[in-house]
Amino acid sequence: MSGEALAGPDGVRRCPWALSTEDYVAYHDQEWGRPVHGDDALFERLSLEAFQSGLSWITILRRREGFRTAFADFRIVKVAAFTQADQERLLADPGIIRNRAKVEATLSNARVLADWAPGELDELIWSYAPERTSRPAPSSLADVPAVTTESTALSKDLKRRGLRFVGPTTAYALMQACGLVDDHLAGCAARNS
């Protein structure tokens, strides 16, 4: 598959990764790279990116509703109150990824974030958004980094504050998914839309 924006069956040019399934087309066109704000919404994205570590994104995307149900729609205060019984329930839930370390990290992260002021997670994450003009539109997938200085700094800051499963690659995937950076390729219909 070419690393450049390609026309799909509908004639719309998209990033090539978006053309493999209808799930990806919808995610690419409607969500990926669009600004996300709100502590709970960002907690959801951060958690899902952590669960994705070592897996393909389609695995997470297809279980997203299961994750939302299992984790109380990622409402930080509710997840922070989960008990040991809730943790065991999650580890037995076939609707999510049943990885003990990732489940424990999500619960731990919610407990940390529950002590933050409202809006603090949103403000912190968005403080690491680079200037939109700081780099040109990538012309191919080879031009899209996996880690940047901003994602490394965000990762370090989140870890310093007690969050887990937030390495630089996960932080950059979060930045891409939540619109802090626009990594839609040049020529992609979703770029800057």
Q: 21-28 long-range contacts, Cβ below 8 Å, gap at least 24?
A: 21/58, 23/58, 23/61, 23/62, 24/58, 24/61, 27/61, 28/190
To the question of whether residue 178 is assigned a binding role by annotation, the answer is no
Contact in structure between 103 and 73 (CB atoms under 8 Å): no
- Reply yes or no on whether 126 is catalytic: no
Q: Which of 44, 49, 128, 150 is the catalytic position? A: 49
- Is 24 known to be catalytic? no
For residue 160 the two structure tokens come to 């310093």
With a CB cutoff of 8 Å and minimum separation 6, the contacts of 76 are: 39, 40, 43, 110, 113, 114
| Annotated binding-site residue? 15 | yes
Task: For residue 188, say whether it is annotated as part of any ligand binding site.
Answer: yes
- Of 24, 27, 32, 128, which residue is the catalytic one? 27
Active site residue 116: no
| Binding-site sequence positions for Zn(2+) | 15, 28, 184, 188
| Binding-site sequence positions | 15, 28, 184, 188
- Catalytic positions, written as ranges: 27, 49, 57
